Amino acid sequence: MSTPVLLVIAHGSRDPRHAATVHALVRRVRALRPDVRVETGFLDFNVPSVPGVLESLETEGVRDVVALPLLLTRAFHAKSDIPAVLAAAPPRLRIRQAEVLGPSPLLVSALERRLYEAGLTPADKSSTGVVLASAGSSDPEAIAVIAEIAREWRHTGWCAVRPAFASASLPRTEDAVRRLRELGCARVAVAPYVLAPGFLPDRIARGAAGADVLADVLGPAPEVARVLLERYDAARVPVALVVGA
C-alpha cells in the first residue's frame, strides 16, 4: 500500500506572514519525514485552495490522503468547514481527516521554547506569571481545552498561568496581564498559543504591552512539526474516519 499524501489544511489570511509561516512549518515536516509527500491547502485568502489541491491529486492518480487541520482546537473549522470541503472532494480519493494539533505536551514544550527564546530561563519560572493567549472561539469545547492547558501548565512550576482570548471570549490578554500583576508575580510573560502571525496574534501582541516578555507565535517550532506527524500517523490506520469511497 502506498504512503498516503499528507495534506496540511491551513485557514489562510490576507497577512502574508501567515502563509510564509505555514510553508516554513511544512518544510520542517518534510525534512523530518522525507518519505511522506506533504502538500498545503488553504481554506481562504491564499492559494492553493484545498479543493484545488484535492483535484490535482486525483488527476495525478493519488488515492489515499490524510487531511490534517492546522488548528490547535476543535472548533467550527474542524467540525464544520473542513469536513464539508472534504466531503466535496473527488470521489476516487480516500480521505482520512486527522485530529487537530492540540492539546499535546509537545505544544506546551513549544510554548516554553518560545518563552525561553524571548529571554526567560527555567530559573525564572517560579516568579513568572504566564498568559496563555489564544485566538479565542465561541465553541465552549475549545475554550475549555485552553483553560485546562493553563491549569496543567501551572503545575510545572510557573508562578501562575491564566488563559486569555483575542476574540469571542474573555478575558483579553491585557486583563490577564493585569490580574497576574495583582497576584504578585514578579514578572509577567505572554505566550501566544497561535500557529502563525495575523490579525488576532497582532491583537494579542497589543494586549501584551504591559507584560515584561512577549513570546513569538509557535510557527515552525520542531515540536509543532512532530505533532503534525503524530496526527498523520494516527490517521493512517484503517479505523480512522474515511470520507469518500
DSSP string covering 99-152: PPS-S-HHHHHHHHHHHHHTT--GGGGGGEEEEEEE---S-HHHHHHHHHHHHH
Residue 50 and residue 144: Cα distance in Å, rounded? 29
Give the percent of the chain with pLDDT over 70: 96
> What pLDDT was estimated at residue 77?
76
**Residues near 162 by Cβ (< 8 Å), separated by ≥ 6?**
129, 130, 131, 132, 150, 171, 176, 179, 180
Q: What is the band of 1 on the pLDDT scale with cuts at 50, 70, 90?
A: low
Q: What are the start-end ranges of the H helices in 4-104?
A: 16-32, 50-60, 76, 82-87
pTM of the model as a whole:
0.94
> What pLDDT was estimated at residue 240?
40
Q: Using an 8 Å Cβ cutoff, are 199 and 222 in contact?
A: no
CB atoms within 10 A of CB 62: 20
Cell of 187: 514578572
Q: Using an 8 Å Cβ cutoff, are 162 and 131 in contact?
A: yes
Question: Above 60 in pLDDT, residue 245?
Answer: no
Question: Above 60 in pLDDT, residue 242?
Answer: no
- Which of 108, 100, 104, 69 shows the shortest CA–CA distance to 191? 108
User: What is the average per-residue pLDDT within 196-204?
Assistant: 97
**Residues near 126 by Cβ (< 8 Å), separated by ≥ 6?**
157, 158, 159
The string of pLDDT tens digits covering residues 88-108 is 999 999 999 999 999 999 999
Residue 142 and residue 79: Cα distance in Å, rounded? 11
Residue 89 and residue 49: Cα distance in Å, rounded? 12
> What pLDDT was estimated at residue 239?
43
Specify the pairing of strand 242-243 against strand 94-97.
antiparallel
User: What is the average per-residue pLDDT within 170-196?
Assistant: 98
User: What is the average per-residue pLDDT within 113-142?
Assistant: 96
User: What is the average per-residue pLDDT within 19-38?
Assistant: 98
* Cis status of the peptide bond prior to 48, with omega within 30 of 0: yes
Residue 63 is given by DSSP the state: -
Please, what is the average pLDDT of the chain?
95
Exposure on the CB side of residue 204, measured as CA atoms within 13 A: 29
**Residues near 146 by Cβ (< 8 Å), separated by ≥ 6?**
73, 132, 134, 163, 165, 193
> What pLDDT was estimated at residue 237?
78
User: What is the average per-residue pLDDT within 196-213?
Assistant: 98
Question: Above 50 in pLDDT, residue 37?
Answer: yes
User: What is the average per-residue pLDDT within 158-181?
Assistant: 97
Query: Per DSSP, what are the bridge partners of residue 133?
Result: 164, 192
